[in-house]
Structure 1
Amino acid sequence: MMTEKIQGVSKTKIFAIGSGFFALMLIWTFYNAYMPLILGDFIESRGIRGMIMGLDNLFAVLLIPIIGTWSDRINTRFGNRLPFLIVGMPIAAVFFALIPYGAMVSLWVLLVVDIVFLLAMTVYRAPVIALMPDHTPPAYRSTANGIINFMGGVGAIVALFGLSTLYGIDRTYPFILAGLLLLFAFILLYFVVDRHPPYADATADDLEEVKATGSLKTMFKKILLPDFRGQFYILLAIFIYFIGYAAVEALFTVYAVEHLGMAEDAAGFTLGFFSLSFVLFAIPAGIIGTKIGKAPAMSIGLLALPAVFFLIPTLPLIDGAVFGMSHLTLLPIVLLIGGIFWAFVNVQAYPLVADLGGTNKIGFFTGLYYLFSMGASIIAPGVLGLMMDLFGAPALFYGSAVTFLFGYWSLNKGVKILRGVR
C-alpha cells in the first residue's frame, strides 16, 4: 500500500536504516568535537592530538574497502550485512561509552579504548551504508538517500546541541547516551532489515572509501597526465580547502576552550551553529548552483569563508568593545554565516567533479573526489594542530582561511584550463 511505502521502499525500513545514519553521525560529530579536549588532559601538543584525530579516516581508507567487499561476498543465516553490524555496532557502542572512563585511568587506557572503538566503527560502517541500496529499487535511491542523509544531519545537530548540554552536566553522560542510541539503532536494524534484501548486488562498489582506494591503486597516475591538467587543478582545490574545513571541524573546540576560555560544553554547542546553517541551507545552495553554475557557486563560498575565518580571532576584541562582555556574543552568528557559505562549496563539489569526464568516467572521478577529500581529512588536524603549536591558537583559522583562498585559485585555474582560457 502507498501508505506503507516511500517511493518503493517500506517506511519502517527507511526509518531503521536512517536510524543507523543518525547514530553514526551523532557519534562521529560528538567524537570530533570532544575527543581532542579529552586528549588535552594528557597531551599538550595540538599537533599530536590532531594526528590522533586523523586515525578514523586512515582506518576508513585502509580497511573499509576490504570490509565492504567482504560483506558483498559472504552468505550466512544472518545474510551478508548483519554479521558485521552484530560485531561492530555493540562493540562500538560499549567502547564509545567507555572513553571518558578510560580517560580517568591513564592515557594508554584511553588510547586502547579509542582504537577499539575506531576499529569497531570501521567494521560496521560500510555494511550499514550498503543497506540503503540493498533495500531500495535503483529508481528511488536518490529519494531514500536524501531522507537518510537528512537523518544523519539531524544526528550531527543533536550531538552538538543536545549532547553538549549533557557534557556540561557530567562528562560521562553524553557518551553513555550516544552508546545507548547506537545500541537502539542496532536492535532496530537487526529486527527490521531483510536478511537477504531484494536489491543486494555488490553495492560495496558504491562506497566512498572503496572508490577512494580504487583510485589510489589504479587511477591516480592518470590524473597527472597532461590531458587531465584542468581536472587535476579542480581536485587539488578540493584537497586544499578540505584541509581547512576538516581541521576546523576537529580543532574548533580546542581553540574555544584553550584560547577563548569557553566551557567545554559551550564550545561544542557553539560549533553546532555551523552545522545547523549548513543543513538548513544545503537545498537552497543546490538550487543556486543549478542557476548560476557549480563552479561560480563554489567560488562564492571559497572567497567568503576566508573572510569569516579571518574575522573569528578578532571577535573577542569586538565583543569587548561593542558589548562590553568577556564572553563571545558574535561567534554563533559568524558560525551561522560560515555554515551557509560552506553549503555553497560542499553541495556543489561532488556534482562538479562527477561532471568532469562525462557519463563514461563518472566512477573514475568519483573515486578521485573521495581520495582527495578523505586524504585531506587524514592529515588536516595534525597539520593545522602543529600550526597552532608553533604560531598560537588563532593559526587554526588563519591557516584554514589560506587553504580556502588557495582552493579558490586552484578551482578557477582548473576551470580556465578546461575552457581553453589562458
Structure 2
Amino acid sequence: MEKLRLNIKKTIFIGLAFASITAFWETYNFIVPLMLNRTFGLSDSLRGLVMGLDNILALFMLPLFGTLSDRTSTKFGKRTPYFLFGTLLAVLLFLGLPFAESGQLRKAENLANEVTRTELWGYVKENEKSKFQEYLEKAGHDFSNLTASEKDNLLRDEFVKIEEEIDGASNPEFEDFVRPALRHYTYQNLTKKNPGPLIAYLVVLLLVLIAMGTYRSPVVALMPDVTPEPLRSPANAIINLMGGIGTVLAMVVNMVIFSLSAGGYYRSYTTVFIAIDVLMIVFLVIFLLTVNENRLLKERQEICEKFGIEEGMNQKASKVKVRFRDIPWEKVRNFLLALVAIFFVTMATDAINSSFSVYATDNLGFSEERASFVKMLSLIFSGLAFIPVGYMAYKFGRKRTIMIGVVCIAVALFSAFFVGREIRIWFVVCYFLMNFGNVIVVVNTLPLVLENSDTNTVGKFTGFYYTATMLASSLSPFLSGVFMDLTSQRRVMFIYGTVCTIISIFVFTLVKGLGEKKELKQAEKTE
C-alpha cells in the first residue's frame, strides 16, 4: 500500500510567505519599543498600550481578509494576490517609520545632552527614589537620622555622581536610575508639549499595520488549503520553521547593522528598515516564481480522492457564506474554548516578547547586539525542534502536545522572575525554554482549530485564530506594562505570564473532541 507523504519542497516554498511576515514582525517588535521608550519617552504602560493598539486593527482585518480570500478566485489563486499587493504596500510604508521618528530623535538626543543631572532629579518618581535609597543603604549609606530634606539632598547628590559608563561599559546604576528619569523628562518636556511627531509616527504605524493585516490570514490559510488534513501538523511545523528562518535572518541583519553602525543610545534605525524591506521583497519574488496556487489546490484534491480522505465538514468549494449557526454546537463550543486557551498562552508570551529588548538592555545590561544575538540563538535552538514537534501530535495528540508546551512556558517564566543582572545567563536559559515551549504550541494550535474546517471556512477559521492571538497581543503589552509601572519592577511580567499559562492549561482541559490522538488509517491508499 502506498503511504500518504508530505511534499516537503512544496511546503518550504509556501513557507517563504510566512518567513516574510516573521522577518517583518521580528524587526518591528524589537525596534519599535526602543523608539517609543527612547525617542518619545513613553512609560512602560504607555509603550505597552501602543504596542497593543497596533494589533487591535488586526482583530477586525484578519477575519475580514481571511473570509474575503475564501471567496476570491483569480488566475493567481485565492491567497497569492493578497500576499503580492499586501507585501508591496507594507514595504513602502514600513520605511516611513524611521523617517517619521527622525526629527523627534534628534530633539530627544539634544535634550538629553543639555539637561543637568540636578534638574533631572526633579523628574525621578517617588517609587524610583525609594528604590535608589534601598540601593544606597545596601552600599553602606545610613539614612536613619536624616530629616526628609536631608535625605532628599543626599539622594540627589549621589544621583548626580552616577557615571554613564565605567571603563567603557554601560553602568548598571545609570540604566536603573538615571535612564528612567531621562525618559520621563523627555516625555514631559518634548512629547507632551508637542505631541505632533508622536501622532505622525502613530499614523504611519497604523498604515503599516493595515498593509500587514491584508495578507496575514490569506498567507497562513494557504498551507491548509493545499495540504491534506492528516499532514497539517508536520506541514505547519515546516511553515513555522520557515518563519523561524525569516526571524533569524532578520536578527542577523539587525545584529550586523548594530555592530557596524555607530549611534549610541539615540541611534537611527533607517538602515535596518531598508535591509528588512529588501529581505521581504526577495521572499516575495522567490514565492511567486515557485508557487502555483491553483495547481497545488488541484493536486491536493487528487490526493484526497486517491487516499479516501474526508476533511472538515466535507463541503465542496463554493462562494456560499458559511455561518457558525450552520455548524453543530459541540464543534463550535470546543473551537471557542480552544481559542480562549490559545488567547491566554499568547498573553503570557507576548508580555515577554513585547518587552524583551527593553528588559534585556535596560534591566539585565545586555547591549543591543548581545540581546539580538541571545534572541537569535534561542530561536535557532527552538527551530531544531520544529519538525519533531510536528510529529509529536501523532504520538500524543495535538491537545496534549500543546499542553506540554504550555507547561514549559510556565516553568520558564516562573524561573525567570528570580533571575537578576548578576546571574543573567540563567535568563538566557529560561528564555530558551520559553521559546521551545512556544514552538510546541504554535506548531499545533492552528491545525487544532482547523480540524473542523473545509475549503469554504479555512480562511474564516484562520482569521478567528488570529483574532484570538492578536487580541492577546493587543491587551498583554499594556496590562503587563501597568503591573510593571505599579510595582516599579519589570520582572513582575514573569509572574503575570505564569498566571496566564495556568489559566490556559485549565481551559485546554475543557476542550473535548479536538486535538485527540488519531490513527492515520486514511494515510493508506484505498484499493
Q: Shift in Å at residue 334 of structure 1?
A: 2.6
- Does the 8 Å CA contact 1:32/1:250 hold for their aligned counterparts? yes
Pairing of 1:67-78 with structure 2 (within 5 A): 67-71=65-69
What amino acid is the match of 2:28?
Y
> How many residue pairs get matched?
386
Match of 2:101 among 93, 100, 103: 103
Q: Say if 2:172 is the partner of 1:175.
A: no
Q: Shift in Å at residue 398 of structure 1?
A: 1.5
Q: Say if 2:247 is the partner of 1:156.
A: yes
- Does the 8 Å CA contact 1:165/1:269 hold for their aligned counterparts? no
Q: Shift in Å at residue 292 of structure 1?
A: 4.2
In structure 1, C-alpha distance between the alignment counterparts of 2:219 and 2:332, rounded to whole Å: 35
What amino acid is the match of 1:115?
L
Residues 68 and 254 of structure 1: is their aligned pair in 2 closer, same or farther, counting only changes over 3 Å? same
Q: Say if 2:493 is the partner of 1:389.
A: no
In structure 2, C-alpha distance between the alignment counterparts of 1:413 and 1:73, rounded to whole Å: 33
Aligned to 1:250: 354
- Does the 8 Å CA contact 2:393/2:401 hold for their aligned counterparts? yes
TM-score (norm: length of structure 2)? 0.60
Residues 98 and 295 of structure 1: is their aligned pair in 2 closer, same or farther, counting only changes over 3 Å? same
- Secondary structure (helix, strand or coil) at the match of 2:425 reads coil
- Does the 8 Å CA contact 1:34/1:268 hold for their aligned counterparts? no
- Secondary structure (helix, strand or coil) at the match of 2:417 reads helix
In structure 2, C-alpha distance between the alignment counterparts of 1:358 and 1:18, rounded to whole Å: 21
Aligned residues: percent identity?
Answer: 29
What amino acid is the match of 2:18?
F
Q: Shift in Å at residue 271 of structure 1?
A: 2.5
- Does the 8 Å CA contact 2:62/2:464 hold for their aligned counterparts? no
Match of 2:257 among 166, 170, 178: 166
In structure 2, C-alpha distance between the alignment counterparts of 1:86 and 1:414, rounded to whole Å: 37
- Does the 8 Å CA contact 1:23/1:178 hold for their aligned counterparts? no
Q: Shift in Å at residue 139 of structure 1?
A: 8.6
Q: Shift in Å at residue 77 of structure 1?
A: 8.2
Pairing of 1:84-99 with structure 2 (within 5 A): 84-85=82-83, 87-99=85-97
- Does the 8 Å CA contact 1:309/1:400 hold for their aligned counterparts? yes
In structure 2, C-alpha distance between the alignment counterparts of 1:400 and 1:154, rounded to whole Å: 26
Q: Shift in Å at residue 64 of structure 1?
A: 3.5
Encode CA deviations 1:362-382: one digit per residue, 9 max, x unaligned: 979877655433332222222
Aligned to 1:49: 47
In structure 1, C-alpha distance between the alignment counterparts of 2:440 and 2:7, rounded to whole Å: 31
Extract unaligned runs of 5+ from structure 1.
Answer: 1-5, 207-216, 320-327
- Structure with higher RCO (Cα < 8 A, 6+ apart): 2
- Does the 8 Å CA contact 1:98/1:175 hold for their aligned counterparts? no
Q: Shift in Å at residue 37 of structure 1?
A: 1.3
Residues 226 and 189 of structure 1: is their aligned pair in 2 closer, same or farther, counting only changes over 3 Å? closer
Encode CA deviations 1:101-143: one digit per residue, 9 max, x unaligned: 3211232332232222212222343454566677x57599847
Aligned to 1:276: 380
- Secondary structure (helix, strand or coil) at the match of 2:384 reads helix
Encode CA deviations 1:318-346: one digit per residue, 9 max, x unaligned: 52xxxxxxxx3333233222222333444
Q: Shift in Å at residue 80 of structure 1?
A: 6.5
Larger Rg, first or second structure (1 or 2): 2
In structure 2, C-alpha distance between the alignment counterparts of 1:289 and 1:133, rounded to whole Å: 16
Q: Shift in Å at residue 311 of structure 1?
A: 2.2
Match of 1:334 among 410, 430, 448: 430
In structure 2, C-alpha distance between the alignment counterparts of 1:227 and 1:15, rounded to whole Å: 31
Aligned to 2:32: 35
In structure 2, C-alpha distance between the alignment counterparts of 1:227 and 1:93, rounded to whole Å: 39
Pairing of 1:299-338 with structure 2 (within 5 A): 299-316=403-420, 319=423, 328-338=424-434
In structure 1, C-alpha distance between the alignment counterparts of 2:512 and 2:230, rounded to whole Å: 33
In structure 2, C-alpha distance between the alignment counterparts of 1:407 and 1:8, rounded to whole Å: 33
In structure 2, C-alpha distance between the alignment counterparts of 1:132 and 1:289, rounded to whole Å: 18
Q: CA RMSD in A?
A: 4.4
Q: Shift in Å at residue 399 of structure 1?
A: 0.6
Bigger share in helix: 1
Aligned to 1:412: 509
What amino acid is the match of 2:216?
R
Aligned to 1:372: 468
Pairing of 1:227-246 with structure 2 (within 5 A): 235-246=339-350
- Does the 8 Å CA contact 2:254/2:272 hold for their aligned counterparts? yes
- Secondary structure (helix, strand or coil) at the match of 2:365 reads coil
Residues 108 and 402 of structure 1: is their aligned pair in 2 closer, same or farther, counting only changes over 3 Å? same
